[in-house]
Amino acid sequence: MDFLKTLGIKEDNFGASTGLNWYETKDQGVINIVSPTDGKPIAKVFQCSEKDYEEVTAKAAEAFKYWRMIPAPKRGEVVRQIGHKLREYKQPLGMLVSYEMGKSLQEGLGEIQEMIDICDYAVGLSRQLYGFTMVSEREKHRMYDQYHPLGIVGIITSFNFPVAVWAWNSAISTVCGNSNLWKPSSKTPLCAIAVQNLLADLIKENNLPEGLFSLVIGKGSTVGEKFLHDKRIPLVSLTGSTAVGKRAAAIIAQRFGKSILELGGNNAVIITQNADLKLAIPAVVFGAVGTAGQRCTTARRLIVHENVYEKVKEALLNAYQSLRVGNPLDEMNHVGPLIDKGAVEEFKHALKQVVQEGGKIIFGSEVLIGEDYESGCYVKPAIVEAENHYKIVQEETFAPILYLIKYKGDVQEAVELQNGVVQGLSSSIFTNDMREAEEFLSAWGSDCGIANVNIGTSGAEIGGAFGGEKETGGGRESGSDSWKQYMRRQTNTINFGTKLPLAQGIKFDL
């Protein structure tokens, strides 16, 4: 395919790069990448060795020593050029994301646009890395805080957003003065290799240090473990499952490292009896089936007031009937495949379990077969009438399953149902009642990191901080003041007088 050639993807690819050089190790195992779109092999990736990892990380550490000396606006200029390069290659990179991961082409292109947007944001941020001045209780003293670069920022990304999450982290990390070490998902490593190839020319043109943008693709049991334990990496940003995040956080904490964790979501949309269903139904459908349900912000639970329950159910069934499932590179299709056959098995298992617990499947659930679905990874999105307390409803199944849940009382009952899971990423309410909306946004309302009114649970903009609470991890990426996580904070006090008064009026006379 032409887009593979354009992005420098070869039949055989290597798994470690410092931005300028690739380490040509071949004896650590090979990953055969097969597209969930058509079941055809795309390319091979040779996994890197522990020795490769050590050399790449050493280069990243050296790059940091240089990069922290560069003024932040000049760092921003490099990120501006990255955004320009992404604009130039938006179409082929979006096609690769769609083909390797399986999301629709529109979503693939949207993911590249997200990368471009965060680069633009980071360029402006490079001139706004502000501190804060405080009033000192001691005369002729000035106090302020400032922020300094951290070092190497380790970025571990998941298959469902194979490039955007790297950009969320690296664009901001770079203007903050850090070097970046990326470990992508072994399910979608070609997207990472393509980005690394695009960066190579910029690194040469700007005479940037080798190791500023590095990549390692290797076994979790070896390279992955070294990544988590490595004291040279003061911050690890990890996107993945809650189970993986718990283990990683414990390891990083033991060495007093910092972590940004973007883990599981079990997101709910509340539809009250005062909702505008013309807004609500399209938002729920996109939130539930976008990326074939493989977003951390996917709408998984729909909590509907009994007075509009039947009307919402009918509208959903009509909308789902019109969904087109098929090749994601065909822009006429709404839903692509799941990432692999393992994900299909999880989809089937969850539906079997919810029925056993008392749920009723009212749409979908089939695994699609035929020449248009030859990869075996296509399913028909499912709607299930269920109750919030079901064990399977309490879990996150990374697949297009929407649980339809009824409530009877006021909005607080609906909020309690929404909050009654261990995850706390995204949430949404549809209502035209100001009091219901404000209850939802109050301190006793949604307990999620993201709470929306009259829009869905997915599709966050880069200007706001992204992340969640509880078992979602508590980290924040992208906008607002998330940049502070990529820097170390320092409080400074300057005495410009001729005396040495102590704080709190303490006397210490010699």
467 torsion bin: left (phi>0), alpha (psi -120 to 50), beta (else): left
DSSP-derived 3-state class of residue 296: coil
Residues 388/420, Cβ–Cβ less than 8 Å? yes
**Measured between alpha carbons, how far is 18 from 53 in angstroms, rounded to an integer?**
10
DSSP-derived 3-state class of residue 383: strand
Query: Strand 450-453 vs strand 426-430: parallel, antiparallel, or unpaired?
Result: parallel
Query: What's the DSSP call for residue 224?
Result: I
**Measured between alpha carbons, how far is 334 from 332 in angstroms, rounded to an integer?**
7
| Catalytic pick among 100, 114, 262, 471 | 262
Smallest Cα–Cα separation from 295: which of 182, 82, 450? 450
For residue 139, indicate whether it is catalytic: no
H helix or E strand, kind and range, residue 303: strand 299-305
Report residue 247 as tokens.
């283990």
CB atoms within 10 A of CB 402: 26
For residue 296, indicate whether it is catalytic: yes
Report which residue type is found at 28. Answer: Q
**Measured between alpha carbons, how far is 105 from 446 in angstroms, rounded to an integer?**
33
Residues 234/152, Cβ–Cβ less than 8 Å? yes
| Catalytic pick among 296, 377, 436, 477 | 296
Going from the C-alpha of 403 to that of each of 48, 389, 418, the distances in angstroms are 42, 11, 12
First to last CA, the chain: 80
Phi and psi of 181, rounded to 5°?
-125, 120
Which residues are tagged catalytic?
A: 262, 296
